[in-house]
Amino acid sequence: MFSRFRIRDFDFKLVFMTIALAGIGIMVIGSAEPSLRNRQLAGAVAGAALMIIISFFNYSWIIRLNWIMYVVNLALLLAVKYLGSDGGGAQRWLELGGLRFQPSETAKILLILFFAQYIMKYKEKLNTVRIVGSCVALVAVPWYLIYKQPDLSTSIVVIVLFCVIMFAGGISWKVVVGVLVVAIPAVALLISLALQPDSKILRGFQVDRILGFINPEEYADTTAYQQLNSVTAIASGQLEGKGYKNNEITSVKNGNFISEAETDFIFAVIGEEFGFKGSMAVIVVLFGISLECISVARRAKDLAGTVIAAGMGGLVAFQGFINLGVATFILPNTGLPLPFVSYGLTSLMSLFMGMGFVLNVRLQAKKTK
């Protein structure tokens, strides 16, 4: 399980970027909701420690337990369905020993690890109907359980993550093009049907969020309220920002015009307090992490390592894009955290653990001359 590695192969750059981003999150959460700062700090310290520990475990051994991971993943998601606690109109959490735990966050990491082994095992047959079909079936079960919580945003992330995994695994361009030809009109039709008055495809609040995005003036006091205030906050920060923990009465954050600013709309606080410069710094670090993961994927010793690193890079990039898109009102409102920044211990620690596996992939990367 453990192997000897050279310290010079350790990806200190990736460690620095993840810890730096988590540090920014702790600081901004301390401004948005001071009572939660210490909990996020404790989660970041524990997560960073887990990342370092996991980085020295040989991922090739760990992923041999992929079917156990898959069963545990399903068990947790089923437990949410039957034993989970409600919050915000959704049933997404488990209460474990006084701690609130969101299995849909760990599901993303477990799926990456599961498919890393599964795809490597069947890499020679990946483009056959049987293997592609089995992969779709295997991701469909956890996807459905997440979708029914309901958690539309995370279910979309799972679909995109699965596509990244399959692409990294070497699926044929013919299959990709074929799927796109069918998927694009199908998604357009699905959205059209979902917005019909008597449709049961989406919940009422989900439809309202889409309509609020399409026609914000009509929904300015309801579903578009959060996003409109988020844009106002970001714009008011201008180049330099209003300052950390500022006391300006015109502050969107201080006026409580954004509820739970420490989670989905944390970027609005960053934009208001640190301005364009601070916002760009967060974006650069966030997508720097994704690019570093892609770099590790290209140098991985085997296909499983490629899938792990590419999967984590795709996860951080796509989830970051969605969160930023919601905060800046270029996408409809969803409930996705900004990776490493938003408050949420399950999300934070899951990401750190995933990065631990990426670090191990880098430690075992193909040596370059």
> Judging by beta carbons within 10 Å of its beta carbon (0-12, 13-18, 19+), is residue 59 exposed, middle or buried?
buried
Q: Report the alpha-carbon distance of residue 113 to residue 354 in Å, rounded.
A: 9
Mean pLDDT, range 88-109, rounded to an integer:
83
Q: Locate tokens 């488990």: which residue?
A: 94
What pLDDT score does 246 carry? 82
Q: Report the alpha-carbon distance of residue 72 to residue 163 in Å, rounded.
A: 22
CA distance to 47, 85, 269, 277, per residue, from 39 (Å): 12, 21, 19, 27
Q: Do 155 and 143 meet the contact criterion of CB atoms below 8 Å apart?
A: yes
User: What pTM, to 2 d.p., does this model score?
Assistant: 0.92
Mean pLDDT, range 193-219, rounded to an integer:
76
Count of other CB atoms within 10 angstroms of residue 164: 20
Is the pLDDT at 3 greater than 60? The verdict is: no
Q: Report the alpha-carbon distance of residue 19 to residue 16 in Å, rounded.
A: 5
Identify which of 21, 285, 317 has the alpha carbon closest to the alpha carbon of residue 161: 317
What pLDDT score does 180 carry? 76
What pLDDT score does 89 carry? 62
User: Sorting pLDDT into bands at 50, 70 and 90, what band is 310?
Assistant: very high
Is the pLDDT at 368 greater than 70? The verdict is: no
What pLDDT score does 88 carry? 62
Average model confidence (pLDDT) for the chain? 89
Amino acid at site 290: S
Q: Do 107 and 142 meet the contact criterion of CB atoms below 8 Å apart?
A: yes
| 100 bridge partner residues | 95
Amino acid at site 47: G
Q: Could you tell me what percent of the chain has a pLDDT over 70?
A: 96
Q: Do 138 and 320 meet the contact criterion of CB atoms below 8 Å apart?
A: no
CA distance to 33, 236, 244, 272, per residue, from 248 (Å): 16, 11, 11, 11
What pLDDT score does 144 carry? 94
| 86 bridge partner residues | 91
Query: Which pLDDT tens digit goes with each residue over 219-244?
Result: 888 888 889 999 999 999 999 999 88
DSSP 8-state assignment for residue 367: P
Length of the chain: 369
> Which residue has better confidence, 303 or 82?
303
What pLDDT score does 194 carry? 67
Mean pLDDT, range 208-212, rounded to an integer:
80
Query: Which pLDDT tens digit goes with each residue over 112-129?
Result: 999 999 999 999 999 898
Least confident of 9-23, 106-120, 194-208, 327-341: 194-208
User: Sorting pLDDT into bands at 50, 70 and 90, what band is 168?
Assistant: very high
| 260 bridge partner residues | none
| 332 bridge partner residues | none
Q: Locate tokens 């919601």: which residue?
A: 326
Q: Report the alpha-carbon distance of residue 101 to residue 298 in Å, rounded.
A: 33
CA 98 to mean position of chain CA atoms: 25
Q: Locate tokens 């899951």: which residue?
A: 350
Mean pLDDT, range 312-333, rounded to an integer:
94
Q: Do 286 and 293 meet the contact criterion of CB atoms below 8 Å apart?
A: no
User: Sorting pLDDT into bands at 50, 70 and 90, what band is 2?
Assistant: low
Peptide bond into 216 cis (omega under 30): no
DSSP per-residue string spanning 175-200? HHHHHHHHHHHHHHHHHHHHTSTT--
Query: Which pLDDT tens digit goes with each residue over 51-60?
Result: 999 999 999 9
Query: Which pLDDT tens digit goes with each residue over 277-307?
Result: 999 999 999 999 999 999 999 999 999 999 9
Q: Locate tokens 């996860």: which residue?
A: 315
* DSSP tally for the chain: helices H, then strands E: 13, 3
Q: Phi and psi at residue 101, in whole multiples of 5°?
A: -130, 135
Is the pLDDT at 74 greater than 70? The verdict is: yes
Identify which of 270, 230, 276 has the alpha carbon closest to the alpha carbon of residue 246: 270
Q: Do 132 and 61 meet the contact criterion of CB atoms below 8 Å apart?
A: no
Amino acid at site 356: G
Identify which of 333, 262, 294, 218 has the alpha carbon closest to the alpha carbon of residue 40: 262
| 99 bridge partner residues | 96
Pair of tokens at residue 364: 């075992």
Pair of tokens at residue 58: 């040989």
CB contact set of 189 (below 8 Å; sequence gap of 6+): none
